[in-house]
Structure 1
Amino acid sequence: MEETKPQLFKITFDGIEVEVEPGTTIMQAARKIAEADQSQTSIVPPAMCYYKPLPASGGKCRACLVKVAQGSAKDTRPMPKLVPSCITQVQDGMVVENTTNEAVLEARKGIVEFLLINHPLDCPVCDQAGECNLQDFAFEHGSAHTRYEEERRTFEKKDIGPYVQLHMTRCILCYRCVYTADQVTNKREHGVMNRGDASEISTYIEKSIDNDFSGNIIDVCPVGALTDKTYRFKNRVWFSKPEDAHCDCDKCSGKVILWYRGDEVIRVTARKNTWGEVNEFICNTCRFERKKTSDWVLEGPTKVKRSSVISANKYRSDLVKKPDFALKLAATQFKNIDDTREYVTDKDTIRHQSIENNDKANHRSLLNQNN
């Protein structure tokens, strides 16, 4: 018998039409648009809890809320409230607004503020800095001010295994690590305890997380709540050099990223796709015990997004084209240095000129205030 292709649904997302299979979520439809055209990456809703390789994830953080302006071709009424794009399936003729809707952008600011209520401002000492989803989310959709005045919720750091340390104060309860333990490891030994504002990630009766794939909860964590004890405080991610590598492993695929500091492998992580998701989870042997270049077959430098802070200082100047607008701005607004001015080296003269310049600046400030 001749195979019949499934009927495709047509959805309009931010004015762009795309055809997807039934059962596809709005988030997946947006990603399909971006994968076909890299310039449209910015229209994809952010995801803090959704993780495609982990079935049943999503629908908790509300970061991906969108406006459905038209439910379907048969029912053209808009949905009354914003809906999470990661768990809402498309309908034929659906019209979705994301970056083009003011209500959506305003809601994202509220979500960022909500997530940062208890999240500590310890980016300068957090190992996740530079590859943190919450940092990106707050930068793109957040506000520079906060209305929260109460004390933040705090927890003590815990070693929940031989390789993993838990910073519950940073956790946003996305449940990714719980789904990973459920679906990737043989036995889950941790979960979300208590309810409401007392909820926290913890192990069962202070048990230790110790199985061959426990390290993957570090990779899936969108913030710095679960950290690699073998990598803590060793280096900033933008100072390290990522290299794709593989090895023959009887437990996992053996496909990893080696993070170098000079000639030293300071950490090993699983490879992630365009959306920062691990498609092939790796074992603890590859992640924590194989820290020598001789243990691996190098494939070449990892491809890093140009917009990522990880790409800092990793591009040759002769291969990066300077944007035209920057050159035009420099030509029109920047003044040439006057090299004909006298070069002063006398300390007393420098001190006297500094005092005069400060007096002039104070005088201008007083005039502006009076006016």
Structure 2
Amino acid sequence: MAEEKKLFKVTIDNITVDVEPGTTILNAARLIGGEVAPPAMCYYSKLKGSGGKCRTCLVEVAAGSTADPRPMPKLVASCRTTVMDGMIVKNITSERVIDARNGVVEFLLLNHPLDCPVCDQAGECHLQDLSYEHGKEGTRYEFNRRTFKKHDLGEYIQLHMTRCILCYRCVFTADQLTNKREHGVLDRGDHSEIATFIEKSLHNDFIGNVIDVCPVGALTDKTFRFKNRVWFTKPMDAHRDCPKCSGEVQLWMRGEEVYRVTARKDEWGEVKDTTDGKPGWICNECRFEKKEARDWVIEGPSHIDRHSVISQGHYEKLVTPKDTLPEVMGGRPPKLIMDIHDVSEVNRPEIKLSEIEGPAHSDDFNQ
């Protein structure tokens, strides 16, 4: 018989969960879900080495373990701290954590432009969510904000470095998904910036994934810029036979028009694995060049987990309002005073305008 793995019990915000040894506090909290899971701006479970930079996931360890129940003196980054058996963690139940998170958000917004009304990331921006939950009404920063010129990183990607929070996700993505990374972090301190060497373009079949991992609007899709707002579009799951990637994507449609194509994402804003368990990264051809509905097999509406404006107009499980007229009339159907199809000299009697596909045409009426 296979030997059973010993599981660690960890209590987060008074909720106990069993996890495998080596699990980080953040991933243990994600098993519980909801507000118990700390926010993360730099950690990305699909990228090795990510995490430990933004400090938004700080938590308080009230008891280290059953063997050593002493609390940790300082707040720790939950994305880099592994659990111990009997560990007790406070996230939203700790005033120290909430105060520290408010301070981190204030630091992230020191140089970040408040251009949400014109930013393509608005509506699905993690920093926007953090600002709503932990931001302050005003800023105490009295100096000029750091600004950079916009750069086109090739044919499809634009870098707006002024919005960047240096989470390093795009660097890890290019390093681990592409054959040759051509961009990284240049300079030091407050002069640090994501840039290419001597302003090169980024050319690789999978480089478009840096757009999906960016938590703010620093890296944007040039084929979608300023064309629509995400809450006006309908995300649909779709797939196609692609020799380069899985071909499982999310189409952002308005009517029959495909405005953009992205990888499918989970409730934490990370790229989902495919149906056969492989990484869900998509290639540039699927992302940028297949912008027609006929290019895809549309499976149906996407399920939106994140608490964003996109989920406010959720249409995945549409409930049709109950028709109360027969109930009021004691079960009898309403009587028609006249049938418009018989008496109208405009409508053709054999055509019911409510049942035709698409808009009515001149051929549908008597001329």
TM-score, normalisation: structure 2? 0.83
Pick one of 168, 184, 206 that aligns with 1:191. Answer: 184
Other structure's SS at 1:7 match:
coil
CA gap of 1:289–1:17, structure 2 versus 1, over 3 A, is same
Q: Is the 8 A contact 1:11 1:92 kept in 2?
A: yes
The amino acid that maps onto 1:188 is R
Give the drift of 1:318: 7.3
In the TM superposition, what are the counterparts of 1:111-126 in structure 2 within 5 Å?
Answer: 111-126=104-119
Q: Does 2:279 match 1:286?
A: no
Q: Deviations over 1:73-98 (max 9, x none)?
A: 11111101000000100011110000
The amino acid that maps onto 1:255 is E
Whole-Å separation in 1 of the counterparts to 2:136 and 2:117: 19
Gaps of 5+ in 2: 273-279, 322-367
Whole-Å separation in 1 of the counterparts to 2:156 and 2:296: 21
Q: Deviations over 1:164-183 (max 9, x none)?
A: 00000000000000000011
Q: How many residues align?
A: 314
Whole-Å separation in 2 of the counterparts to 1:317 and 1:163: 34
Q: Which moved more, 1:297-306 or 1:248-257?
A: 297-306
Whole-Å separation in 2 of the counterparts to 1:143 and 1:108: 11
**In the alignment, what sits opposite 2:224?**
231
Q: Does 2:126 match 1:127?
A: no
CA gap of 1:197–1:318, structure 2 versus 1, over 3 A, is closer
**In the alignment, what sits opposite 2:172?**
179
Q: Is the 8 A contact 1:108 1:142 kept in 2?
A: no
Other structure's SS at 1:219 match:
helix
Q: Deviations over 1:40-79 (max 9, x none)?
A: x011100000000111100000000000000111111110
Q: Does 2:258 match 1:265?
A: yes
Q: Deviations over 1:152-200 (max 9, x none)?
A: 0000000011110000000000000000001111111100001111100
Pick one of 249, 261, 268 that aligns with 1:256. Answer: 249
Q: Is the 8 A contact 2:61 2:75 kept in 1?
A: yes
**In the alignment, what sits opposite 1:206?**
199
In the TM superposition, what are the counterparts of 1:1-371 in structure 2 within 5 Å?
Answer: 2-34=1-33, 41-279=34-272, 280-305=280-305, 307-315=307-315, 319=319
Whole-Å separation in 2 of the counterparts to 1:68 and 1:7: 22
The amino acid that maps onto 1:32 is L
Q: Deviations over 1:140-162 (max 9, x none)?
A: 12211211111100000000111
Q: Is the 8 A contact 1:59 1:87 kept in 2?
A: yes
Whole-Å separation in 1 of the counterparts to 2:72 and 2:113: 36
Report % sequence identity.
67
Q: Is the 8 A contact 1:113 1:142 kept in 2?
A: yes
Whole-Å separation in 2 of the counterparts to 1:113 and 1:240: 31
Other structure's SS at 1:299 match:
strand
- The structure with the largest helix share of the pair is 1
The runs of at least 4 aligned residues of structure 1 exceeding 4 Å deviation read: none
Q: Is the 8 A contact 2:269 2:306 kept in 1?
A: no
Give the drift of 1:317: 10
Q: Is the 8 A contact 1:166 1:227 kept in 2?
A: yes
The amino acid that maps onto 2:13 is D
CA gap of 1:303–1:316, structure 2 versus 1, over 3 A, is closer
**In the alignment, what sits opposite 1:343?**
none
Whole-Å separation in 1 of the counterparts to 2:316 and 2:299: 20
Whole-Å separation in 2 of the counterparts to 1:307 and 1:319: 21
TM-score, normalisation: structure 1? 0.82
CA-based RMSD of the aligned residues comes to 1.5
CA gap of 1:157–1:320, structure 2 versus 1, over 3 A, is farther
Q: Is the 8 A contact 1:156 1:168 kept in 2?
A: yes
Q: Deviations over 1:274-301 (max 9, x none)?
A: 2110131000000001111111101001
Whole-Å separation in 2 of the counterparts to 1:250 and 1:317: 33
Whole-Å separation in 1 of the counterparts to 2:198 and 2:319: 55
Gaps of 5+ in 1: 35-40, 322-371
The amino acid that maps onto 2:17 is V
The amino acid that maps onto 1:293 is A
